Amino acid sequence: MVRDTARQDGYSLIEMMFVVGIMAILSAIAALQIGASRPVLKGDGGMRVVMGQMNQARELAITHRKYMRLVFSGAIQVQILREDTPTTTTSMSTTLMEGGLQYALISGLPDTPDAFGKATPLDFGTAVNVKFTPDGRLVNQDGSTINGTVFIAWQNQTLSARAITVLGSTGRVRGYRWDGKAWKVV
């Protein structure tokens, strides 16, 4: 008796189809998760830009012993101007928010827990100029201490909503992220 003992190494077609099917399902889940997290990531990036500029303006005001004015121009730009004299300024920094983020309010969202205002995306009350003093406070054009909030969002995507608040008496800058239910401190 002679037996045919040929070995069958490798994978069968059914085993390969099963592995490819599992990989396709995992890829689809990953693609959906990346798409859902895109507004969150864009919002976080824009918030870091604005908070960075505000913190930099405060630190420059303290170290240079000069007023540092924050100018929010257009819908995406933050600029820091050093006030050399009451009529002359020097540009210290200009930064743009990227990826379609802009100063915006999303309807239906409440004010932050700091409750500094939600009348406009750049809410510093009636202030025309917003600046940090050499002692780190946030003041308006008259030198009065003010509080304020900057709201940013991406294309009316609720999960991209971010708020940056400034407590005028200390110059403390705080960021908030909308998580779908409430503002959370970042």
pLDDT for the residue numbered 35: 74
Fold adopted by 41-185 = minor pseudopilin epsh fold (3.55.40)
Q: Which residues share a beta bridge with 102?
A: 153
- Write the secondary structure of 26-90 as one string of H (helix), E (strand) and C (coil): HHHHHHHHHHHHHHHHHHHHHHHHHHHHHHHHHHHHHHHCCCEEEEEECCCEEEEEEECCCCCEE
Q: In a 10 Å sphere around its CB, with 0-12 CB exposed, 13-18 middle and 19+ buried, how is residue 145 labelled?
A: middle
Using only the alpha carbons of the chain, give its radius of gyration: 26
pLDDT for the residue numbered 8: 67
Average pLDDT for residues 143-150, to the nearest whole number?
96
Q: Which residues share a beta bridge with 42?
A: none
Query: Considering the chain, what is the average pLDDT of its residues?
Result: 91
Q: Which residues share a beta bridge with 103?
A: 152
Higher pLDDT, 75 or 57: 57
The C-alpha torsion from 59 through 65 and 66 to 70, rounded to 10°, is 10
Angle, CA 171 vertex, CA 90 and CA 53 arms, to 5°: 45
Domain ranges of the chain: 41-185
- d(C-alpha 174, C-alpha 123), whole Å: 15
Q: In this predicted model, what pLDDT tens digit does every residue of 9-66 receive, in sequence order? A: 788 899 999 999 999 999 988 888 777 778 888 899 999 999 999 999 999 999 999 9
DSSP state of 174: E
pLDDT for the residue numbered 6: 61
Q: Is it the case that residue 134 has pLDDT exceeding 70?
A: yes
pLDDT for the residue numbered 162: 95
Q: How far is CA 163 from CA 51, 85, 98, 141, 184, in A?
A: 10, 32, 16, 23, 10
